Structure 1
Protein backbone atom coordinates (compact mmCIF):
# COMPACT_ATOMS: atom_id res chain seq x y z
CA UNK A 1 0.00 0.00 0.00
CA UNK A 2 1.53 3.36 -0.99
CA UNK A 3 2.22 5.86 1.76
CA UNK A 4 -0.19 8.77 1.96
CA UNK A 5 1.40 12.08 1.07
CA UNK A 6 0.92 15.55 2.42
CA UNK A 7 1.56 19.04 1.11
CA UNK A 8 3.01 21.80 3.27
CA UNK A 9 3.00 25.46 2.21
CA UNK A 10 4.75 28.43 3.81
CA UNK A 11 4.48 32.03 2.68
CA UNK A 12 6.92 34.59 4.08
CA UNK A 13 7.60 38.27 3.86
CA UNK A 14 11.04 38.61 2.30
CA UNK A 15 13.32 36.24 0.43
CA UNK A 16 15.80 35.44 3.25
CA UNK A 17 12.98 34.02 5.38
CA UNK A 18 11.70 31.73 2.61
CA UNK A 19 15.24 30.58 1.85
CA UNK A 20 15.80 29.74 5.53
CA UNK A 21 12.44 27.95 5.63
CA UNK A 22 13.19 25.88 2.51
CA UNK A 23 16.61 24.91 3.84
CA UNK A 24 15.22 23.87 7.23
CA UNK A 25 12.31 21.99 5.69
CA UNK A 26 14.50 19.91 3.40
CA UNK A 27 16.83 19.11 6.29
CA UNK A 28 13.94 18.49 8.70
CA UNK A 29 12.28 15.62 6.84
CA UNK A 30 12.36 13.41 3.78
CA UNK A 31 10.41 15.88 1.67
CA UNK A 32 10.68 17.34 -1.81
CA UNK A 33 10.41 21.03 -2.63
CA UNK A 34 7.83 21.11 -5.43
CA UNK A 35 6.97 24.80 -5.71
CA UNK A 36 8.53 28.24 -5.28
CA UNK A 37 7.19 31.57 -6.43
CA UNK A 38 7.05 35.24 -5.64
CA UNK A 39 3.71 36.34 -4.31
CA UNK A 40 2.63 39.96 -4.12
CA UNK A 41 4.09 42.72 -1.92
CA UNK A 42 7.44 41.05 -1.22
CA UNK A 43 5.96 37.72 -0.20
CA UNK A 44 7.40 34.40 -1.29
CA UNK A 45 5.74 30.98 -1.22
CA UNK A 46 7.15 27.46 -1.15
CA UNK A 47 5.49 24.05 -1.08
CA UNK A 48 6.84 20.66 -0.06
CA UNK A 49 5.48 17.16 -0.51
CA UNK A 50 6.23 13.92 1.21
CA UNK A 51 4.86 11.43 3.66
CA UNK A 52 2.58 12.88 6.31
CA UNK A 53 4.99 11.87 9.08
CA UNK A 54 7.81 13.71 7.27
CA UNK A 55 5.96 16.89 6.26
CA UNK A 56 4.85 17.74 9.80
CA UNK A 57 8.36 18.03 11.34
CA UNK A 58 9.68 19.65 8.15
CA UNK A 59 6.98 22.32 8.38
CA UNK A 60 7.78 22.95 12.05
CA UNK A 61 11.46 23.38 11.22
CA UNK A 62 10.65 25.71 8.32
CA UNK A 63 8.36 27.90 10.39
CA UNK A 64 10.94 28.27 13.16
CA UNK A 65 13.72 29.05 10.69
CA UNK A 66 11.66 31.67 8.85
CA UNK A 67 10.63 33.43 12.06
CA UNK A 68 14.22 33.37 13.37
CA UNK A 69 15.57 35.02 10.21
CA UNK A 70 16.40 38.69 10.72
CA UNK A 71 13.42 40.62 9.37
CA UNK A 72 11.64 37.38 8.53
CA UNK A 73 7.92 36.95 9.00
CA UNK A 74 5.66 34.04 8.16
CA UNK A 75 2.53 35.52 6.61
CA UNK A 76 0.66 32.22 6.29
CA UNK A 77 1.19 28.47 6.31
CA UNK A 78 -0.87 25.34 5.89
CA UNK A 79 -0.49 21.56 5.76
CA UNK A 80 -2.83 19.36 3.73
CA UNK A 81 -2.64 15.67 4.62
CA UNK A 82 -3.45 13.41 1.68
CA UNK A 83 -4.77 15.99 -0.84
CA UNK A 84 -7.25 14.60 -3.38
CA UNK A 85 -6.08 13.98 -6.95
CA UNK A 86 -8.09 16.88 -8.37
CA UNK A 87 -6.32 19.32 -6.01
CA UNK A 88 -2.91 17.97 -7.04
CA UNK A 89 -3.86 18.20 -10.72
CA UNK A 90 -5.03 21.81 -10.53
CA UNK A 91 -2.61 23.45 -8.09
CA UNK A 92 1.15 23.71 -8.81
CA UNK A 93 2.11 20.98 -6.32
CA UNK A 94 2.74 18.01 -8.61
CA UNK A 95 6.11 16.32 -8.82
CA UNK A 96 7.50 17.83 -12.01
CA UNK A 97 10.34 16.54 -14.14
CA UNK A 98 12.58 19.24 -12.65
CA UNK A 99 12.11 17.96 -9.08
CA UNK A 100 11.65 14.24 -9.75
CA UNK A 101 15.36 13.53 -9.29
CA UNK A 102 15.12 14.89 -5.72
CA UNK A 103 11.99 12.95 -4.78
CA UNK A 104 12.13 10.63 -1.78
Structure 2
Protein backbone atom coordinates (compact mmCIF):
# COMPACT_ATOMS: atom_id res chain seq x y z
CA UNK A 1 0.00 0.00 0.00
CA UNK A 2 1.33 3.40 -0.99
CA UNK A 3 1.66 5.84 1.91
CA UNK A 4 0.49 9.42 1.41
CA UNK A 5 1.32 12.23 3.76
CA UNK A 6 -2.16 13.75 3.76
CA UNK A 7 -5.74 13.55 2.56
CA UNK A 8 -7.98 16.50 1.80
CA UNK A 9 -11.74 16.67 1.32
CA UNK A 10 -14.43 19.18 0.46
CA UNK A 11 -18.18 18.70 0.86
CA UNK A 12 -20.74 20.89 -0.87
CA UNK A 13 -24.21 20.67 -2.38
CA UNK A 14 -24.50 19.41 -5.94
CA UNK A 15 -22.44 17.58 -8.52
CA UNK A 16 -21.67 20.68 -10.59
CA UNK A 17 -20.04 22.41 -7.63
CA UNK A 18 -18.07 19.30 -6.68
CA UNK A 19 -16.80 18.97 -10.25
CA UNK A 20 -15.66 22.59 -10.17
CA UNK A 21 -13.96 22.02 -6.81
CA UNK A 22 -12.24 18.84 -8.00
CA UNK A 23 -11.00 20.56 -11.15
CA UNK A 24 -9.59 23.48 -9.16
CA UNK A 25 -8.01 21.13 -6.62
CA UNK A 26 -6.20 19.08 -9.26
CA UNK A 27 -5.04 22.15 -11.18
CA UNK A 28 -3.78 23.99 -8.09
CA UNK A 29 -1.53 21.31 -6.63
CA UNK A 30 0.12 17.96 -7.23
CA UNK A 31 -2.62 15.81 -5.70
CA UNK A 32 -4.30 12.60 -6.74
CA UNK A 33 -8.06 12.69 -7.11
CA UNK A 34 -9.25 9.70 -5.12
CA UNK A 35 -12.94 10.02 -5.87
CA UNK A 36 -16.23 11.34 -4.62
CA UNK A 37 -19.14 10.22 -2.48
CA UNK A 38 -22.78 11.27 -2.64
CA UNK A 39 -23.23 11.72 1.09
CA UNK A 40 -26.95 12.49 1.47
CA UNK A 41 -29.66 14.82 0.22
CA UNK A 42 -27.46 16.22 -2.54
CA UNK A 43 -24.33 16.77 -0.47
CA UNK A 44 -21.29 15.39 -2.22
CA UNK A 45 -17.71 15.05 -0.97
CA UNK A 46 -14.58 14.97 -3.10
CA UNK A 47 -11.33 13.47 -1.78
CA UNK A 48 -7.71 14.03 -2.81
CA UNK A 49 -4.41 12.84 -1.44
CA UNK A 50 -0.80 13.93 -1.67
CA UNK A 51 1.71 15.71 0.50
CA UNK A 52 0.47 18.03 3.25
CA UNK A 53 1.22 21.30 1.46
CA UNK A 54 -0.35 20.13 -1.78
CA UNK A 55 -3.53 18.98 -0.01
CA UNK A 56 -3.81 22.31 1.83
CA UNK A 57 -3.35 24.23 -1.42
CA UNK A 58 -5.82 21.98 -3.23
CA UNK A 59 -8.51 22.29 -0.56
CA UNK A 60 -8.11 26.08 -0.44
CA UNK A 61 -8.43 26.24 -4.25
CA UNK A 62 -11.50 24.00 -4.18
CA UNK A 63 -13.17 26.14 -1.52
CA UNK A 64 -12.48 29.29 -3.52
CA UNK A 65 -13.85 27.74 -6.70
CA UNK A 66 -17.11 26.74 -5.00
CA UNK A 67 -17.51 30.15 -3.37
CA UNK A 68 -16.77 31.88 -6.71
CA UNK A 69 -19.75 29.99 -8.17
CA UNK A 70 -21.98 31.56 -5.52
CA UNK A 71 -22.54 28.69 -3.14
CA UNK A 72 -21.06 27.44 0.12
CA UNK A 73 -18.76 24.68 1.17
CA UNK A 74 -20.51 22.57 3.79
CA UNK A 75 -17.24 21.28 5.25
CA UNK A 76 -13.59 20.73 4.42
CA UNK A 77 -10.62 19.03 6.02
CA UNK A 78 -6.95 18.26 5.53
CA UNK A 79 -5.62 15.35 7.57
CA UNK A 80 -1.82 15.18 7.76
CA UNK A 81 -0.36 11.70 8.25
CA UNK A 82 -3.72 9.86 8.31
CA UNK A 83 -3.81 6.69 10.34
CA UNK A 84 -3.32 3.61 8.11
CA UNK A 85 -6.78 2.32 9.04
CA UNK A 86 -8.32 5.28 7.18
CA UNK A 87 -7.31 3.45 4.01
CA UNK A 88 -10.49 1.38 4.47
CA UNK A 89 -12.56 4.55 4.04
CA UNK A 90 -10.36 5.94 1.27
CA UNK A 91 -10.84 2.74 -0.75
CA UNK A 92 -14.60 3.26 -0.52
CA UNK A 93 -14.23 6.65 -2.19
CA UNK A 94 -11.85 5.40 -4.89
CA UNK A 95 -13.02 5.64 -8.45
CA UNK A 96 -12.46 2.47 -10.44
CA UNK A 97 -10.87 3.25 -13.76
CA UNK A 98 -10.02 1.07 -16.70
CA UNK A 99 -6.33 0.40 -17.23
CA UNK A 100 -4.60 2.73 -19.65
CA UNK A 101 -3.81 1.02 -22.94
CA UNK A 102 -0.70 2.07 -24.78
Aligned ranges for residues 21-100 of structure 1 at < 5 Å?
21-70=21-70, 72-88=71-87, 90-93=88-91, 98=97
Q: Which stretches in structure 2 are left out of the alignment for 5+ residues?
A: none
TM-score, structure 2 normalization: 0.82
RMSD between superposed Cα atoms in Å: 2.5
* Number of residue pairs aligned between Structure 1 and Structure 2: 98
Q: Please, what TM-score do these two structures have when normalized by structure 1?
A: 0.80
Q: Is the 8 A contact 1:5 1:83 kept in 2?
A: yes
Please report how far the alpha carbon of residue 98 of structure 1 lies from its aligned counterpart in structure 2 after TM superposition. Answer: 3.2
CA distance in 1: counterparts of 2:42 and 2:69, whole angstroms = 15
Cα distance in 2 for partners of 1:65, 1:4 equals 25
Question: What displacement does 1:37 show?
Answer: 1.8
